[in-house]
Amino acid sequence: MGFGDFLTLPEIKLRVVTCRNVFQNTAQETSRFGEDYERLSAVIMLDPKDITRLSIKDGETVALRNGHGKVVVKAQRSGQEDAHSGIAYMLNSPWSNALVPVPDTGKGVPKYKDFEVTVQGSKGEKVTGIKQLF
């Protein structure tokens, strides 16, 4: 895909909630720098309607951006979920933490379970590696 094509892909804003997954947790126990940990962590789970709105296919990469950072992860159609268009799920990991905001309320708690990102398809772009995150 050329640069021009990339520009034409639609951008949408989604609310992200982070959650846990036992397979990813297991991969983390084995190695934070391993392929399994990256494969299972660098993912955003989307409602089928949002996949359509983004003009992407299940499994393609998407770029996520907000005022705190940018990461490229794989888009995945969320399986068993009820319809949740407008809301996406990410596993708690350094990839989601690149985007989690810290409100300036002085309360000492980041907004892990409710933050906004702009999502755009980025087919062909590589998933951000863990070492590039930092």
Partner 1 sequence: MVFSVFRFGDYLSEYFVCTGCALLCDDIEVDVQENRINTVNAACRKGVARMKGCTDPLVCTVDGKEEGIDKAVQKAASILRDAKNPLIFGHGNSSSEAQKLSIDLAKMTGAYIDDTSSFCQGPLVEAILQEKLKTCTLDDVRHRADVIIFWGADPSNSHPRHLSRYSYYPRGKERQRGWEEDRTLISIDIRRSDTALLCKDERFYRIPISGDAEFMEALVSSLSGKVPKTSFDYEKKRILELSNVLRKAKFGVICAGLGLVYSLEQLDPLFKLMDKLNELSDFHLIPMVGQYNMRGFNHNLFEETGYINRLKFDPQNDEPLHGPEYSIVETLYNKKVDAALIIGSDPLSSLPYSIAQNLKDIPLITIDPCQTLTASRSTVTIPCALGGVEADGTAVRMDGAEVTLKKIIKTDRLTDHEILKMIMEAI
| Residue ranges binding partner 1 (CB under 8 A) | 15, 17, 19-23, 25-27, 29-34, 68-69, 80-82, 84, 87, 89, 92-94, 97-102, 104, 106-114, 130-131, 133-134
Token output for 99: 């985007």
Burial bucket for residue 21 (CB in 10 Å: 0-12, 13-18, 19+): middle
The length of the chain is 134
Using the minimum distance from each CB to partner 1, give the nearer residue, 4 or 106: 106
Answer whether 111's CB lies under 8 Å from 100's CB. yes
How far apart are CB 134 and partner 1 at their closest, in Å?
A: 6
Using the minimum distance from each CB to partner 1, give the nearer residue, 14 or 119: 14
